[in-house]
Structure 1
């Protein structure tokens, strides 16, 4: 087991990639805090992990709310004594063409993706520094690398995550804490329209050299790698598990 006895927080884990990552971590021996805005969803994922022999709890948290994040991290530390791994996966979309996007739509997306990731980072990093060990994982997107139409807020947020990843890696390397980012392919509920709407799906698939959509379980091995000791000398990197879409 690559993550035996590690303690992991996975945000946005009530469904999609987050849920798959939480389950994969549990299979590798980690104790997993399944974090989601939707408590029922978080608890369902956690219950499934426990039913399969793992150790997990489901916790409701709005990552854009600093007080809720601090309370969540405190609950995890109280239960398991420390936090070794943080996966900043929580995200939302508020789609609109840039000339029609409201200030609220812009701010909502940045609040969750950027403020949320920063809130979670600050909530766990003190203990990691003290123990001189940690794995920070950020989730970005091809949208943050290539841009996209109708989601300038999402693209800006995901591009910001790239800068956060590199800065986190540079600041925390001295404490044996690594930080890396993963840009997964379209395998989440947020990309459901792209994958199912005839107006978008063929055009989008044409951009993927492998010619098919990703399944969440195809992405999780990358998350396990970056959370494990196998990646102990890898930091500040961005790995695109996107079927080749972002090949330069």
Structure 2
């Protein structure tokens, strides 16, 4: 049975791949993104491939914007059956320059060099809001219509660094840990009204946000990219399609008794001790 699926952050690489896969299953896809052009372009690609999609501008940090987006979705497809909270990301102001603090770092005056003590609270707040509040607000707007209806669910996007924080990115690691915790809380809270809530925890996937961090201009790996591959038992980055199988399962009837789980999709990264 066709469902109406709303995906935030849908103009990006990973959520775009999920949107295309879910459209191929006969679902109606509403692609929400702050970048309206990116959402419309992704919707056009789905429609040209025989799917049924619409691109909608939405700011996941503004309730009024989300209410307007909901109105557009309902005019096009009806009430939301499945919400995928895919909007998120990091920010340089919430990132340290080095993985470990050394005493000499405190006297480093190089432009742009940041220790933990230099992190900008506004940058930290931006990252936390984008990932956590950007999950909470769409859920408030779209999940109310799910109450008491069969087959409705929410899929959040956490991260494997919610299990074990990565060096240099305390804001992003903390924000994704909050998403995982919220996923479990919400699964319990919604358990009596028929709404399942689960999350994906992707490992390392090459996206436009992290490509320059993990690869050089010639395609070779940066030191951090090599470090990640060395710590990933499967020895590679994930491909967007690697998220599809778990997404289809968690959004489908085959997972009708599954709620409150956060599934790592990381090539074994979170399971590997390094030895």
* TM superposition score normalised by structure 2: 0.86
Q: Quick one: distance in 2 between partners of 1:99 and 1:189?
A: 28
The answer on whether the counterparts of 1:17 and 1:220 sit within 8 Å (CA) in structure 2 is no
Q: Which structure 1 segments of 5+ residues have no match?
A: none
1:1-248 → structure 2 map (5 Å cutoff): 4-95=1-92, 96-97=95-96, 98-187=116-205, 188-197=207-216, 198-247=222-271
Q: Quick one: distance in 2 between partners of 1:221 and 1:41?
A: 24
Q: 1:109-142 CA distances to partner (integer Å, 9 max, x unpaired)?
A: 1111111111000001111004254110010112
Q: 1:161-215 CA distances to partner (integer Å, 9 max, x unpaired)?
A: 0111001100111112110010112223333134314221111101111001111
Q: Quick one: distance in 2 between partners of 1:69 and 1:221?
A: 28
Q: Quick one: distance in 2 between partners of 1:231 and 1:193?
A: 37
Q: Quick one: distance in 2 between partners of 1:72 and 1:111?
A: 19
Q: Quick one: distance in 1 between partners of 2:157 and 2:204?
A: 13
Q: CA deviation at 1:6?
A: 0.3
Q: Quick one: distance in 1 between partners of 2:151 and 2:225?
A: 42
Q: How many residues were matched structurally? A: 245
The answer on whether the counterparts of 2:148 and 2:194 sit within 8 Å (CA) in structure 1 is no
Q: CA deviation at 1:16?
A: 1.1
Larger Rg: 2
Q: Quick one: distance in 1 between partners of 2:261 and 2:148?
A: 24
The answer on whether the counterparts of 2:153 and 2:197 sit within 8 Å (CA) in structure 1 is yes
Q: Quick one: distance in 2 between partners of 1:182 and 1:67?
A: 27
Q: Quick one: distance in 1 between partners of 2:149 and 2:230?
A: 47
Q: Quick one: distance in 1 between partners of 2:151 and 2:67?
A: 20
Q: Quick one: distance in 1 between partners of 2:165 and 2:200?
A: 16
Q: Which structure 2 segments of 5+ residues have no match?
A: 97-115, 217-221
Partner of 1:76, secondary structure, is: helix
Q: Quick one: distance in 1 between partners of 2:90 and 2:8?
A: 16
- For the aligned residue pairs, the C-alpha RMSD in angstroms reads 1.3
Runs of 4+ aligned structure 1 residues displaced above 3 Å come to none
Relative to structure 2, which stretch is displaced further, 225-234 or 132-141? 132-141
